[in-house]
Amino acid sequence: MCGIWALFGSDECLSVQCLSAMKIAHRGPDAFRFENVNGFTNCCFGFHRLAVVDQLYGMQPIRVRKFPYLWLCYNGEIYNFKQLQKQFGFDYQTLVDGEVILHLYNRGGIEQTASMLDGVFAFILLDTANRKVFLARDTYGVRPLFKVLTDDGFLGVCSEAKGLINLKHSTSLCSKVEPFLPGHYEVLDLKPSGKVASVELVKFHSCKDEPLHVACDTVEALPSGFDLETVKSNIRILFENAVRKRLMAHRRIGCLLSGGLDSSLVAAVLLKLMKEININYPLQTFAIGMENSPDLLAARKVAAHVGSEHHEVILNTEEGLQAIEDVIFSLETYDITTIRASIGMYLVSKYIRKKTDSVVIFSGEGSDELTQGYIYFHKAPSPEEAAEESERLLKELYLFDVLRADRTTAAHGLELRVPFLDHRFTSYYLSLPAELRIPKNGIEKYLLRLSFEDSNLLPKEILWRPKEAFSDGMASVKKSWFSILQDYIDQQVDDLLLEKAAEKYPFNPPKTKESYYYRQIFEKHYSGRSSWLPHYWMPRWVKATDPSARTLKHYKSATQE
């Protein structure tokens, strides 16, 4: 996890512009570099480094002797860089996984490069010999990327929007900062003036398609067919493989643990594999919640079962409320459920950074979208519509859960790893018949739970624990976190302000005092940029006015059963 920033064709002094690059310094607390491009005095790269692999040669932009005309700034991890080296005979100059991007590009161009990368990434690749700039982002947008391109060819690119919004230029940049779409690459021509012109924007991978890099995966062809035993075995093999490949790190590995199915499975498989490869330190797991909250109690049980070094962070209501503005600034969104869930994740990340030496943090993001874990999936009209909704959620992850997970950890210089969003695992799961993937017997994620039932990885009561939203599970059963937030905000927002909300904020107008409060804070930092959020996250097929699971009729907490 790093912070990348680049400008092409700047009219303003670069020493002034580079102040914007410092807005993302939290993403790379270990080192910073600012470098001009030879022959293009108005083009430059900025890089904030979190050193996770190759402590010696990991600074960026990466340039190697073999390709002196290539400049690479990337944020991410390429898990198959060694397999690609073996397959194509690449001669690496460093131990940096991202160096493979230069070799792939030299061998087969940008299309093959983006398609063959097994990992999470956002990158800026400059080819001065052919006067081209390339931007690319992984399938689910696990690593963030924003860009601004003016009509006269000034291009700014950054890991977070906050590094672009204050750039100086002769024409207005106001509404043009936008997220770069996941699963896409863009080709731009670089003119002698340093300005650029977009040539094409190409979608190189869809979540349903088996990725091109499967050809050089460590797990070979799996048995075909959809009989239940084969499917369950394939799910276990691919998920374990997804966790194994993410063990690539020279820094200590930890794991977020809410005690729900997803994070518990990640923690259990992670610990099993760490023992197999003789990692000689205990796995630290981290849970956050109010005293005796469902998440804390469940996480305690999982940690005891798997044998991790467990840390509990007690959420103080006052501390949670005070963090709201910092969280919204970090997130760059005003989505209600994203903000609610981010407060706990932001505070537990803050604890990890201050109190431990864990830096590479595993988490369970992506499972709810992939395996139909949200409670409203019980109301899906048909298995086919449930499957379509699952794909829609995966495509929008970069706006919601993946955004939350990246920004709350990156704000504290941590690197997130999300095995449920492994390209091969997700494409296999989505290839299964729709009927197999729906909730069964009143239980969501039925197939995933069933696949691990005989593994003894988790206690049965955790494996079959009903879904809790992170922001709900960390609160007490008596009063949920969203109720606490709403009670506080009720005193902060006047009724009259809410009545006139649609006039003040015509795009995505706030319907509640809570959403109005968040929007005010968002506009304070990112005025006029409400289009970054196309719509609020909300359950489907139910008449929901609030995104919390606890407001749905299906919800029944464990203490009420």
- For residue 64, the cross-strand partners are 67
Q: How far apart are CA 62 and CA 99, in angstroms?
A: 7
pLDDT at 189: 98
What residues form the annotated binding site for L-glutamine? 97
CATH classification number, 220-551, choose in 3.10.129.10, 3.40.50.150, 3.40.50.620, 3.90.550.10: 3.40.50.620
Complete DSSP assignment for 483-512 = HHHHHHHHTTS-HHHHHTHHHH--SS---S
174-226, pLDDT tens digit by residue?
558 999 999 999 999 999 999 999 999 999 999 999 999 998 888 878 999 99
Helices (H), 307-335: 317-322, 324-331
How does pLDDT run across 233-272, given as a tens digit for each residue?
999 999 999 999 999 988 999 999 999 999 999 999 999 9
Element (H, E) at 99: helix 99-116
Q: Among 52-56, 102-106, 107-111, 531-535, name the one with the lowest average pLDDT.
A: 52-56
pLDDT confidence of residue 557: 44
pTM of the predicted model over 0.85: yes
What was the pLDDT predicted at 56?
59
- Report the range of poorest mean pLDDT among 41-45, 329-333, 416-420, 534-538: 41-45
Q: What is the pLDDT, as a whole number, of residue 53?
A: 61
Residues annotated as binding site for ATP? 256, 288, 363-364
The C-alpha angle with vertex 346 and arms to 340 and 348, in degrees rounded to 5, equals: 115
The third-level CATH classification (topology) of the domain covering 3-203 is Glutamine Phosphoribosylpyrophosphate, subunit 1, domain 1 (3.60.20)
Mean pLDDT of the chain: 92
Averaged pLDDT for residues 343-367: 97
> Which pLDDT belongs to residue 33?
85
pLDDT of 561 over the 50 cut: no
Domain ranges (residues) in the chain:
3-203, 220-551
What percentage of the chain carries pLDDT values higher than 90?
A: 79
Q: Which two tokens stand for residue 110?
A: 């940008």
The binding site comprises 97, 256, 288, 363-364
Q: Which residues are catalytic?
A: 2
Nearest to 378 by CA among 546, 555, 550: 555
Q: Where are the beta strands (DSSP E) in 391-496?
A: 415-417
Tens digits of per-residue pLDDT, 392-415? 999 999 999 999 999 999 999 999
- For the segment 423-467, what is each residue's pLDDT rounded down to a tens digit? 999 999 999 999 999 999 999 999 999 999 999 999 999 999 876
Residue 135 and residue 184: Cα distance in Å, rounded? 8
Average pLDDT score over residue span 268-295: 94
The rounded distance, in Å, linking the Cα atoms of 173 and 151 is 10
Per-residue pLDDT at 546? 74
- For the chain, percent of residues with pLDDT exceeding 70: 93
pLDDT single digits (tens) 369-388? 999 999 999 999 999 999 99
DSSP state of 332: T
Question: Which pair of structure tokens corresponds to residue 479?
Answer: 């009063």
Two tokens at 125? 């690749």
- Smallest Cα–Cα separation from 465: which of 302, 251, 270? 302
